Amino acid sequence: MKFTLSRSLVVLALAASSASYAADYPTKTITMIVPFAAGGPTDTIARLLAQAIGTNLKQQVIVENVGGAGGTIAAARVARSAPDGYTIFIHHVGHSTAPSLYRKLNYNSIDSFEPIGLATDAASTLIARKDFPAKDINELLSYLKANKEKVTLANAGIGAASHLCGMLFMSAIGTDLTTVPYKGTGPAMNDLLGGQVDLMCDQVTNTMSHIKSGKVKAYAVTYKNPVATLPDLPPLASAGLTGFELSVWHGLYAPKGTPKEIVTKLSSALQAALKDPTVKQRLADLSTDPVAENRATPDALRSHLKAEIDKWGPIIKKAGVYAE
């Protein structure tokens, strides 16, 4: 209740002094909320962007990890935050799947936020602990048929991209595995590396270095074609598994009611960050693509988010997976 009141007061105050407030913005540290635990792809992308956006705006942007429930806990918190430009939010494709996956959300993925812009796109990879028996995707499919009750599949919570990918995978092979939810890919990957869990489908951003160093086994990628950095990794569709054109896109948002001039400043800072040579190089190293400048805009993110909500809704409904 206290939260709601302070949010309303901020909205009123901003409406009264919007122009001068926005002209001076930012005058203090900005917090970027990350909806997953530290150490995963969203956290990595967030930290890179936070640094570069902060340099551009001449103010520090700090990252706060608010993991749990596939990103929906963080989204609800941002939706209730003061729309003053000092709380911003990064989220991925999960922001578009949550409305279909959750029977009840106490925010609206579109109406509770001001889109700032799209940021990155990345493929996902289906991986296993290093000593998992199957050596390629075909062996994996046979192994899962025979041993499904023994196999565990990690994800970063219901609503996470890894959950979506795992769900599509199980539905495509017609086999239910035991899923193990974490608060983000960071802790899930630790358990996979430690051999406590068997499989995971997660962004190449986080998996590539482990695939290249042989610390995990990789079976397939979720793009139509192989990704340039892992040319030997076949698309899941090549093993006859359809419905896998999954791109894990990330976007930046502010709470609804954040003044337009501030959103424009943040959007310009995002565009500058994506052109920053250090950011570009680091993203290239992680096989993660920065979006073109015209997609790092509020309009592009708004229409992409709507299109993705429409795309995933029927697929999730067909798979019959819901969270309470």
- Under the rule (CB under 6 A), what is the footprint of ligand ASP? 36, 40-42, 92, 94, 156, 160-162, 184-186, 202-203
Q: What's the CA gap between 295 and 275, in Å, rounded? A: 13
Our CB check for ligand ASP shows the closer of 118 and 156 to be: 156
Matching residue, tokens 């959950």: 163
Q: What's the CA gap between 9 and 64, in Å, rounded? A: 24
Our CB check for ligand ASP shows the closer of 91 and 217 to be: 91
Residue nearest to ligand ASP (CB): 40
Judge contact between 236 and 168, C-beta under 8 A. Answer: no
Our CB check for ligand ASP shows the closer of 222 and 297 to be: 222
Our CB check for ligand ASP shows the closer of 82 and 204 to be: 204
Residue 221, CA distances (Å) to 19, 109, 230, 301 in order: 47, 28, 9, 25
Q: How far is the CB of 35 from ligand ASP (least distance, A)?
A: 8
Q: How far is the CB of 226 from ligand ASP (least distance, A)?
A: 20
Our CB check for ligand ASP shows the closer of 125 and 297 to be: 125
Our CB check for ligand ASP shows the closer of 272 and 315 to be: 315
Cβ partners under 8 Å of residue 50, min gap 6: 32, 61, 62, 63
Our CB check for ligand ASP shows the closer of 67 and 259 to be: 67
Our CB check for ligand ASP shows the closer of 96 and 162 to be: 162
Q: What's the CA gap between 222 and 121, in Å, rounded? A: 12
Q: How far is the CB of 22 from ligand ASP (least distance, A)?
A: 31
Q: How far is the CB of 96 from ligand ASP (least distance, A)?
A: 12
Question: In the beta sheet, which residues pair with residue 221?
Answer: 125, 235
Q: How far is the CB of 108 from ligand ASP (least distance, A)?
A: 20
- The closest of 118, 115, 120, 119 to 254, measured between CA atoms, is 115
Q: How far is the CB of 189 from ligand ASP (least distance, A)?
A: 9
Task: Compute CA 55 distance to the chain's CA centroid, rounded to the nearest angstrom.
Answer: 23
Q: How far is the CB of 177 from ligand ASP (least distance, A)?
A: 16
- The closest of 107, 78, 102, 80 to 91, measured between CA atoms, is 78
Q: What does 157-223 look like in DSSP terms, one character per residue?
A: STTSHHHHHHHHHHHHHT---EEEE-SSHHHHHHHHHTTSS-EEEEEHHHHHHHHHTTSEEEEEESS
Cβ partners under 8 Å of residue 1, min gap 6: none
Q: How far is the CB of 25 from ligand ASP (least distance, A)?
A: 28
